[in-house]
Structure 1
Amino acid sequence: MSIIVLKPGLLSSFQDLGRFGYQHLGVSASGAMDCRAHRLANLLAGNPEEEATLEVTLAGPTLRFEAPGCIAISGAQLSPTLNQKPVPNNRPLVVRAGDTLAFGPRIAGLRAYIAWNGGIDLPMVMSSRSTYLRGGFGGFKGRALKKDDILTMRRSLDGHMLDELEQDIWNIKVYLPAILGLASRTTIRAMRGEHTALFTDASINDFFTHSYRISAQSERMGYRLDGARLSLKSTTQLLSEATSFGSIQVPQDGNPIILMADRQTTGGYAKIAHAATVDLPIIAQCMPGETLRFTETTLAQAQQLDNQREAAFRQLHQALAPLRALLQG
């Protein structure tokens, strides 16, 4: 029940929903950059949402399956193929022993997520299977995939009924609510926080009206932005405090940084705003060189959007009950 890595891709690492409860020990939460796509791939593969998926960045891997299984791909459109034939995102796919999954040119987005029914056999490290690349632990040997790595599936399908199973799976209608799909907009809803008042009125206005270019020095730890430089009303020393995914801090050079999945555990820079959780996948799917704009929202509005997303996930989970029954049977 193995998978052979023929090509590793640009950066392919296993991630789940994150490693929580250890920031006070200096351990980053990590986890999927686009949790929406990660959860979606898992649901479409018949998995719980917290199962680890393979996060692939821009140039996907080439994988050969040594046993039959069911997979799903969500997130960025990276032209996936199975045995050199195009396959769709956001559909459960039956793979057979000897099949080869590969990726081609990027069409949209940056990060795609591959889920396997039953998951990949990975150790739990501090309650998570996420890879923390800087720390060198979690996921598959604490690193990104390399050529000739061998992955072990925890579950394989009965090879005698694959054609019938494939047809039954294809007959299942999958309605994907728009809020769960790959968004093309680049406007990010952001909330003011306790540090916003420390910035000059001109800086606050600039932040919510100007575009920012994503710097080449952007990755899983944080997205550095180039644009209108932001300044504080006066030099202020702040106590370091816990960081969170989506906080937008401003270091001394005035260029904001959006903290991402592999963010540091604490920080002492003033934070001008916090991106709404529902829009974090949009940021995660943007590439260096692309631009973002921020529009102000309130906590209540952000919570309402989050509730709408969670309702859509619950609806999809219920709709996919026939899929789970097929795969478990």
Structure 2
Amino acid sequence: ERRKRRQKKTFERPNPYAGLPSPKLDFSSGDDDKDNAPIHVPNPEAAAEKAKELLKAQRESVNMLTLVKDKIIDRFSDLEFRTELETNGFAVVDGFFGSHDDSHDDTEQTAAVLTQLQEEATVMLEDGGMEVDTANLGKGQYVVAIGGGEKQYATCPRMIEIVVSATKNIPEAFVKNESGDDTENPATLELNDAASMATLRTFDRKALKASLVLLQGSDDDSALDANETPLSLVAEDPSSDKRRLTVHYYIVPPTWNEACGGGFEFEGGRKVSAQNDRVVVFYSDKTNHKVIPWKGSEDSPELAIGNVIELHLIEKRQ
């Protein structure tokens, strides 16, 4: 009975909070609606197109890296090539991407690669950070290191992929033997597959002629034919210079010929001229050579420019 009277008194008292506004507390997560809300893309068509372009670029990159790898393993591990290199100190691979081999059914891919390399070389000369080669002043030559990076890759992706794949796979090719009998195969090379030195060299005939006028008063380039430069090694001091194999890949017009210059002269007067899609390989520390002067030609505007990717493979760390 007393409990009932206390409860009655409690219910009859006025509520001290009756006049206060509702606190309107909400303990649900503020992200709930966001998680369930649809994602809004301002321009879905543009986003889809960008995704397609990215996938296309990735596919082209993988295709190029694989193509270079296959060509290197096929050509550089070939017994005839290796024997030529060991016997003469240099070896030549013509039509590296198949441009001189009609038996290949991938002529469209080959043509596309060679065309893109020519286009990249043009862009690199115009806007690729190339500088006058101070070691060959007055010879119309420009150089730039091929080191990769986002900016350079946007300008010359196929060139960078050649360097990357060659650095990785040439060492592998040089430890492969064509047969199981080591006595029938040339000695192997221990090369670093993670580091190399690469340069793009571009010759510009207009720059050469301007230099000749400045130096000798006329643009007559006949004096270049004398080429009295002595033979030398790439790595004169092998103890400090770890370059062991030099690889030059030429990117010149298809009509480029011996008279246009470029290439090498080796001991004994043996010459190898620059030629499109040609690879010249020689020992950096053992093969004496000199570069045949680049000249170009007035016969055609396209013969005014020649390019070469110069790659040096270094000795594997012990």
TM over 0.5: no
More helix by share: 2
Structure with bigger gyration radius: 2
TM-score normalised over the length of structure 2? 0.26
